Chain A
Amino acid sequence: MDAAAVLARWLLGAVFLYMGLSKALHPVDFLKLLRQYDLVQSSLLVNSMAATLPWFEVFCGLLLLLGVAVRGTALALLFMLAPFTVLVFHRALLLQSALAIPFCAVKFDCGCGSGTEFICRKLLENFLLFALSIALLPGRGYQFSLRFNLIKPPAS
């Protein structure tokens, strides 16, 4: 069980490290994709999001791989995954209605770092990442960790 949790931590860390780097190395492309969502009108805010989100993912990926602040990092990933999954879903609905095609036939680059993908596959991936993040919250997978708890756990 703990071995599975360690593997889950490494897998989640590697995925976020890869996705973060693929965006951080092409920040303009990510900025353009982020603009598709019309999240905010201010260029300062959009630029800040495009400039920092990929590196934040890299940071979280590294923390998980090294085993530092694992539960706090898993929670941070959940807070990132949840709103972006909603945004991706919403954009897919817009595309579906504009193109008049079945939902699962909608294919676009959501700016997630994995390129152009079918929406159903993307949602499934996000669901798996979500599940892996939740699995780390109870505190499993502490083997091979540098500092699993950054804040001292409560004495039982």
Chain B
Amino acid sequence: MKDNPTPSGVPDRLLAVRQIFGEFALVAVLGAAFAFAANQISPLGLALTRNYFPTGTSPSVRLSAGDTNSGPVSPTQFLARQMQEKGLQLLDDNQTARLFRDPRFKQDIIIFVDARDEDRYQRGHIPGAYEFDPYHPEKYFDTVLPLCQKAEQIVVYCNGGDCDDSESAALLLRDVGISNQKLFVFGGGITEWMTNNLPVETGARNSGNLRKPNP
């Protein structure tokens, strides 16, 4: 492109740059309007004013939790400390498996709550666990809330590891009136459950499609 002055005396190159930035501004404004409208229309859209993370701490903060002056902190220790601060109780895999085998589990006196999304739940959950995605709680409150009110112990889990959806779900249940004393979080989540060769159910709750543990 040449730098010849136009009749107005402004070089071509400068006009071209102005044109690109002008177009960019238009794209930005129209794109933002499109994006907000699409989010509003989409059934999967996010509610802008909602706090999706009542747990507060992001995984990146967890990542650097070992760099404190008090020495290295394992993810389990960090999780336990965080649960304690929130008034929740952390379960390990043995305690969770014991509750799963407890006869009260069959009577819904002990219930398991799966805090992952529908797709992951369908692909495999702890047999008999109720689905409760904390990002779309309105879909599950009708089923899960009365059960939680009646139950004596509620075990909430998600994927395990960095996942804090179980914590979010437990806090959500606490916020709608379920006592802290009843709420337990299985920190290892479905990953640890499967690693321990415990049974997994696919599809809907009580579908009967059980994936047996490996011999």
**B97 CB-CB contact with A under 8 Å:** no
Q: Is A153 a contact of B39 with CB atoms below 8 Å?
A: no
**A52 CB-CB contact with B under 8 Å:** yes
**B21 CB-CB contact with A under 8 Å:** yes
Top 5 A-B residue pairs of the complex, sorted by shortest distance between their CB atoms: A72-B23, A154-B15, A52-B35, A55-B35, A51-B39
Interface 1/0 per residue, A84-96 and B, CB below 8 Å = 0000000100110
Which of B56-64, B106-114, B172-180, B203-211 touches A? B56-64
From A24, A27, A63, A75, give the contact of B20 (CB < 8 A).
A75
Which of A2-10, A30-38, A118-126 touches B? A30-38
**B36 CB-CB contact with A under 8 Å:** yes
**B66 CB-CB contact with A under 8 Å:** yes
By a CB distance below 8 angstroms, the chain B residues around A153 are 15-16, 19
Which of B43-51, B87-95, B123-131 touches A? B43-51
Tell me if A's interface is mostly helix, strand, loop or mixed.
helix
**B77 CB-CB contact with A under 8 Å:** no
Q: A36-B60, A58-B38 are in contact. Are A151 and B26 (CB under 8 A)?
A: yes
Interface size grouping (class) on chain B: 35 or more
**B140 CB-CB contact with A under 8 Å:** no
Instruction: Determine the residue in chain A with the shortest Cβ distance to B47.
Output: A47
List the interface of chain B (C-beta within 8 A of A): 1-2, 4, 6, 10, 12, 15-16, 19-28, 30-32, 34-36, 38-39, 42, 44-53, 58-61, 63-64, 66, 117, 135
Q: Is B19 a contact of A154 with CB atoms below 8 Å?
A: yes
By a CB distance below 8 angstroms, the chain B residues around A98 are 63-64, 66
By a CB distance below 8 angstroms, the chain B residues around A152 are 19
From B26, B34, B48, give the contact of A150 (CB < 8 A).
B26
Q: Is B135 a contact of A94 with CB atoms below 8 Å?
A: no
Task: Give CA–CA (A36, B162) in the complex, Å.
Answer: 11
From A35, A51, A150, give the contact of B23 (CB < 8 A).
A150
List the interface of chain A (C-beta within 8 A of B): 24-28, 31, 35-38, 43-44, 47-48, 50-56, 58-60, 63, 69, 71-73, 75-76, 79, 91, 94-95, 98, 137-139, 149-156
Minimum Cβ distance to chain A for residue B83 (Å) = 19
From A38, A73, A154, give the contact of B16 (CB < 8 A).
A154
Q: Is B52 a contact of A149 with CB atoms below 8 Å?
A: no
By a CB distance below 8 angstroms, the chain B residues around A95 are 63
From B4, B28, B58, B63, give the contact of A76 (CB < 8 A).
B28
By a CB distance below 8 angstroms, the chain A residues around B12 are 154, 156
Task: Give CA–CA (A60, B10) in the complex, Å.
Answer: 30
Q: A36-B58, A43-B52 are in contact. Are A75 and B39 (CB under 8 A)?
A: no
* Pairs A–B under 8 Å by Cβ, sample size 27: A24-B44, A27-B44, A27-B45, A27-B46, A36-B58, A38-B58, A51-B36, A51-B39, A51-B48, A52-B32, A55-B34, A56-B34, A59-B27, A71-B19, A72-B22, A72-B24, A72-B26, A72-B27, A73-B27, A75-B24, A75-B27, A76-B31, A95-B63, A153-B15, A153-B16, A154-B12, A154-B19
